[in-house]
Amino acid sequence: MRRNHGTLNGQLARVISELGHTDRLVVTDAGLPVPPGVERVDLAVRENLPRFLDLLDAVLAEVAVEGVLMSQEIKQHSPEMLAEIEARFTGVEIRFVPHTEFKRSTGEARAAVRSGEFTPYANVLLTAGVVY
């Protein structure tokens, strides 16, 4: 058993360990389609389990992030969720694009980590940074 209390899910722990500088990882709500060829780490159990923010926090505890891409539609449809996400990325640029472009961009991700979140547009595409 792991000594530290990091990610317990074996597939997610492996994906995080394999990330290199500028690799991309998408953390998704329950409905975002995962493009063919992108590894799916499906943690969704039922509606809102796990919550997107809990999953994002678990990922951020282990991944250095230098860039964030989001759908601009979150501004109108889920402003409370957007505020919570933005609070987690002080000092990191968040770029917004139309949702159709966001979905295309996920095709470049090493993996997609799916939550059970039912809040519209609760998705982020993270660009991994370095810790040195």
The verdict on whether 21 is a catalytic residue reads yes
* CB atoms near residue 16 (< 10 Å): 22
Going by the annotation, the residues of the binding site for substrate are 29, 99, 121-123
Confidence of residue 54 (pLDDT cuts 50, 70, 90): very high
* 110-131 pLDDT per residue, tens: 999 999 999 999 999 999 999 9
In a domain, 79, yes or no: yes
In a domain, 86, yes or no: yes
Q: Give residue 20's domain range.
A: 10-128
* 34-48 pLDDT per residue, tens: 999 999 999 999 999
* 72-125 pLDDT per residue, tens: 999 999 999 999 999 999 999 999 999 999 999 999 999 999 999 999 999 999
pTM of the model: 0.96
Q: Considering the candidates 14, 21, 75, 104, report the single residue annotated as catalytic.
A: 21
In a domain, 72, yes or no: yes
In a domain, 2, yes or no: no
Of residues 114, 108, 115, the one with CA closest to residue 38: 108
In a domain, 83, yes or no: yes
pLDDT at residue 2 above 90? no
In a domain, 57, yes or no: yes
Domains contained in the chain, number: 1
Going by the annotation, the residues of the binding site are 29, 99, 121-123
Residue 112: CATH number of its domain: 3.40.1650.10
In a domain, 17, yes or no: yes
Confidence of residue 1 (pLDDT cuts 50, 70, 90): low
pLDDT on residue 67 = 98
Confidence of residue 3 (pLDDT cuts 50, 70, 90): low
In a domain, 101, yes or no: yes
